[in-house]
Chain A
């Protein structure tokens, strides 16, 4: 390994000297032969040796084959052990030359064997690619190379990194390379001043990995001055991390709060405004999630190009499906039980079991796969906080649903009539409002919103018949805590519970954290039985 890195450094010097043309130090035949050595039955150890040999050629031409190996796309032919890069399509393989990438036709899968990989092989490939792709055309590849070198922190790589830094044009990549160089300097036997400077560079980076490099260095070095610099850097990073840790917890809290808000907001209508204890609320959420599944299935079969839009298509459909079920439920059952909360509770609990088992019979008891569109996958960094896209979109979606609901309640005739019926049913009736119809519409609205919540929850939770059960208790908690009959109360209640939960979790653990929150709510309800924002409603009047 060491010897190959020396060769590599030599190579960089050569390039700096202006020989940036095609690779001349290693004959192409060499690299090709090494790639061919992946053919044939071999153990993981052997494969790893071949990877190291490939990296030692220093020839970027081996990179495509290594990448294919890592991704499980490198095959060898059973008849002559020739190695190909191949992609599967049904029972055949599309072959390509491992060196040139030229098309090599197709062949039946049974004639080939995949080169076996496991995690340690993938790690070895990534390390090998790191040294090979430091000067790659693609900035992303160079960035990855720099990151790999950072975690390896190999003093032998300082010189090649110097060369690469001098030639680098992309500011981000350059900064990463400098960090990688600093990490390597700390490991080297360079003078103390240089190490102190390197500690500064790592302090700028300021994350846990930098902290870890500094800590290892501080505990092992004998040089007082360099250790002092490292310890100052450690202290600075630690306070920074503590700050961002709290910020991260608040963010997680907001995100949990938005999930609670979504789950509870439909209930805020049916339970909060109408006073119906609807135990089947969670199943409305579940129906929304299954609607998303059905929509995605249809799209996969008949219009795959629409997949990125599947959630947008699912939202109105989920609303309609759940609203329709809610409407049927209200007309056929709940309207006969108004004013009898206990019977309503039992009846809707029964309905929830019926709905669960119905879904189980239709779709089966196992989880259904709902895919994440690309714009909902992955994460990005804000400072030292990582923000995942799906959580961000769910927060946005929850707030949009909330705003839309406020608008409906306050600015539309339906909303006006709803509020009128809630506040004084007899008077509203006397004014010519068809109160039974308003009841049905209100219940359908609340159910439909639960369905929309199901679309969002399908992105982060299991789509199984039990999906709704997990949310019903939390939803009631939010609505009761926020104040029955008040939408703003639901918003504040959901966010408070979310943040409280997430601030407690790191100290108390998830199990105890939940218990503490529950106890706090009980105490709070003792003090203020009507929740944060108490409001008059029919339920209160009755």
Chain B
């Protein structure tokens, strides 16, 4: 395990700029998740660390050593691809043993067997060691792919949306598994996803990428409560944060310069209006079982928030809405710091 650093890294594909001036340090033993939409440069960042792409500018350091020009085999990394990148004609055992059989390692047969079996147990595929890779289900294939990365102890594990092809239940399980495995091994891990739940639950730090630039990096809590701008704020939270223009609701006491108010469920107090005075009308209620999504119409705007399953509100009800320490952004969408009131 080692510290990994990207310094001023840039990469373009033809006219398309994939990464621009990226500075990123992943500490030894840290789990960093890069979060962003498709085309934000997440995968390119991973491939640059792996050596599958060469940067146009900047440097890549692994364990203090400059590996900017080194091929993937010379870097001590493992990579889990988004696709099931198994060797299709080999058994699960042979797939897991493949990285260990590299002549550069000169690992003994018994040692390989021990490591493969331990890893198979870790990713819960030990009952299928003799199966052919192509005979597995999607979830099993991806567990083998993850296992093939874990079978070595590299400087850093790189994972490109490894869970996106799994069904919801398995994804939830694997999320916990991966975090457990990472903590057990004390592994350094750079993980790419567009799923905010994966980012929130597994990351030590989340990096928000947009159009090839790292907008903000920090602990999940910090990114959630202190987003640098409206873009970061919309990446996290379910339902998505409501961005309302200043003045739409009574908002005395907000910092000067506030142009946009960001309100998540916890930033809003909603009550049925008693005296005929109202800020909005309940449009409809989505019942999700354990909770409801409350859609409220504010003139020509709409606001979506969570409400308890036993909410007394019904569509058509007039409601009073008050802010409770919302996030405030200036005209450029930048967070104004501190909290209101």
Is chain B found bound to chain A in the same assembly?
no
Binding site for A on B (CB under 8 A): none
Binding site for B on A (CB under 8 A): none
